[in-house]
C-alpha cells in the first residue's frame, strides 16, 4: 500500500511538472478585397493542388484542461449571454428553455485563409432538440441575437448545426452554410433553405463521442467536413459541404454560438482550434512579438501559481516519503514493484 501510494503521489508530482512545462512553453511562445459572402463572389477562386503551409494560431483558439482563468475569463476570447466557461469546456447554452450564448475572439484575424477544428457535444433528454449551434467567421462580433444566439445581418459566413425542423420537411438535424453581406435577414421559418449555399443532413445529437467539425477556407473555397461522433477516431471525417468562389472579409472574428427554444439541449464546446493557411511560395508572417500588457501580467500570474503548486506538491511528497530520497528508481509492472537494474 505504501509503494502504491508513493507511485500515486509521484504521478501527481510528474503531472504537475508536465503542467508547468506546458505553461512555460505557452509563455515562451507569447514573447516570441471587398467582402461579399452571399455566394455571388468575384471570380478567380480556382483551387490549387499544392498543400498550403499550416500554422497554429493560439490567439484564436481554446482547449481544456485549465481553459478558464481564475477570474472566469477565457484567454483571448469573450463570452456573452448564458455561456458558462469551465476547466474543460464552454457550455454555450444549458438545457433550459429560451437560452442563448456565444463566445468570440477578442481580436480580428489578420490572415486571409484559415482552417478551424471545433469539437462539441449537443445532448438532450428528448428525441428532438433545439435550437442548435453555429460556427462563425464575420467582420464584426455578433455577440447576441436571434440567429442561434448571435446577431443577424452579419457580414461573413455561418455554419449552422440546426437541430429543430421549423419547416416540417423532416430534413433536420442538418448542417447548413449561409453567407451574408450584411443585408440579409436569416430565414428561420424555412431553416435557411432559401439562403443556404450548401448543406448536408447529419444527426449530431447524443453521440457516444464528441462530434468534430473541420471548416477550411482556402483560395476562395469553403469546405466543411464532419466527424459524426460514432467512433473515437479523431480523423474520421466525412464530406459535408463545399462552396466555391466565396469571398469573405479579409479580417474577421471567429465565434461560436447556440440557442434553445421551447425544447432545449446542452451545447458544449470542448475545443476550438484555428490554423493559418499560407499558399506555397508565399512567406508566412512572423508570429506576434508581444502581447498586451494586461494579458502578459495574467499569464505571469498563472505561471507563478503553477510554480507554487508544484513546489508545494514536491515538499509534501518529500515529507510523506522520506525513505525514497536517494534510492534507485522503482517501476511498476502489472501492479508489482520492480527494482530498476
pLDDT for residue 36: 54
pLDDT for residue 330: 44
Assign 6 to helix, strand or coil: helix
pLDDT for residue 277: 97
Largest Cα span, the chain? 74
DSSP state of 72: S
Q: How many CB atoms lie within 10 A of CB 103?
A: 23
pLDDT for residue 127: 87
Q: Quick check: 177 and 195 in contact, CB under 8 A?
A: no
Q: How far is it, in rounded angstroms, from Cα 221 to Cα 65?
A: 33
Q: How far is it, in rounded angstroms, from Cα 175 to Cα 9?
A: 46
Which H or E run includes 301?
A: helix 293-320
DSSP state of 37: -
All structural domains of the chain, each given as residue ranges with its CATH number in brackets, are: 53-278 (2.60.120.200)
pLDDT for residue 62: 98
Measured in whole angstroms, how far is the alpha carbon of residue 222 from the centre of its chain?
18
Query: Mean pLDDT by 10-residue block, N- to C-terminus, for the chain (341 residues)?
Result: 41 45 42 45 47 96 94 96 97 97 97 97 91 97 96 98 84 93 93 93 95 98 97 94 97 98 96 96 64 63 68 78 56 40 40
Cis peptide before 89 (omega within 30 of 0): no
Bridge partners, residue 74, by sequence: 77
Q: Quick check: 244 and 220 in contact, CB under 8 A?
A: yes
Q: How far is it, in rounded angstroms, from Cα 186 to Cα 146?
A: 9
The percent of residues above 90 in pLDDT, for the chain, comes to 60
Q: Give the number of residues written for the chain.
A: 341
Degrees, nearest 5: CA angle 261-171-123: 45
pLDDT for residue 333: 39
* Long-range Cβ contacts of 284-288 (<8 Å, 24+ apart): 284/53, 284/55, 285/110, 285/111, 287/29, 287/32, 288/59
Q: Quick check: 101 and 228 in contact, CB under 8 A?
A: no
CA atoms within 13 A on the CB side of 62: 27
pLDDT for residue 171: 78
End-to-end CA separation in angstroms for the chain: 23
Amino acid at each position: 500500500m505504501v509503494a502504491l501510494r508513493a507511485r500515486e503521489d509521484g504521478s501527481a508530482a510528474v503531472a504537475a511538472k508536465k503542467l508547468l512545462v506546458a505553461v512555460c512553453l505557452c509563455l515562451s511562445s507569447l514573447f516570441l478585397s471587398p467582402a461579399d459572402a452571399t455566394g455571388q463572389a468575384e471570380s478567380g477562386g480556382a483551387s490549387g493542388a499544392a498543400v498550403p503551409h499550416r500554422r497554429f494560431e493560439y490567439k484564436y483558439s481554446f482547449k481544456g484542461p485549465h481553459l478558464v482563468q481564475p477570474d472566469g475569463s477565457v484567454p483571448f476570447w469573450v463570452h456573452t449571454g448564458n455561456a458558462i466557461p469551465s476547466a474543460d469546456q464552454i457550455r454555450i447554452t444549458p438545457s433550459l428553455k429560451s437560452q442563448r450564448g456565444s463566445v468570440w475572439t477578442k481580436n480580428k484575424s489578420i490572415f486571409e485563409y484559415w482552417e478551424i477544428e471545433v469539437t462539441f457535444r449537443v445532448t438532450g433528454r428528448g428525441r428532438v432538440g433545439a435550437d442548435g449551434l453555429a460556427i462563425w467567421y464575420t467582420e464584426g462580433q455578433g455577440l447576441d441575437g436571434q440567429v442561434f444566439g448571435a446577431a443577424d445581418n452579419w457580414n461573413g459566413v455561418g455554419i449552422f448545426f440546426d437541430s429543430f425542423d421549423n419547416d416540417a420537411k423532416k430534413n433536420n438535424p442538418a448542417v447548413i452554410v449561409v453567407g451574408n453581406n450584411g443585408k440579409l435577414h436569416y430565414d428561420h421559418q424555412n431553416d435557411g433553405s432559401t439562403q443556404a449555399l450548401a448543406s448536408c443532413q447529419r444527426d449530431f445529437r447524443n453521440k457516444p463521442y464528441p462530434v468534430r467539425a473541420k471548416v477550411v477556407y482556402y483560395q476562395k473555397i469553403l469546405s466543411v467536413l464532419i466527424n459524426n461522433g460514432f467512433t473515437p477516431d479523431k480523423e474520421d471525417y466525412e464530406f459535408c459541404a463545399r462552396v466555391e468562389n466565396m469571398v469573405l472579409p479579409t479580417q474577421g472574428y471567429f465565434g461560436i454560438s447556440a440557442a434553445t427554444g421551447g425544447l432545449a439541449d446542452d451545447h458544449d464546446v470542448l475545443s476550438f482550434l484555428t490554423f493559418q493557411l499560407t499558399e506555397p511560395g508565399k512567406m508566412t508572417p512572423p508570429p506576434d512579438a508581444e502581447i498586451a500588457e494586461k494579458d502578459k501580467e495574467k499569464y505571469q500570474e498563472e505561471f507563478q501559481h503553477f510554480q507554487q503548486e508544484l513546489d508545494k506538491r514536491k515538499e509534501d511528497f518529500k515529507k510523506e516519503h522520506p525513505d525514497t530520497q536517494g534510492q534507485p528508481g522503482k517501476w511498476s509492472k502489472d501492479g508489482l514493484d520492480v527494482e530498476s537494474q
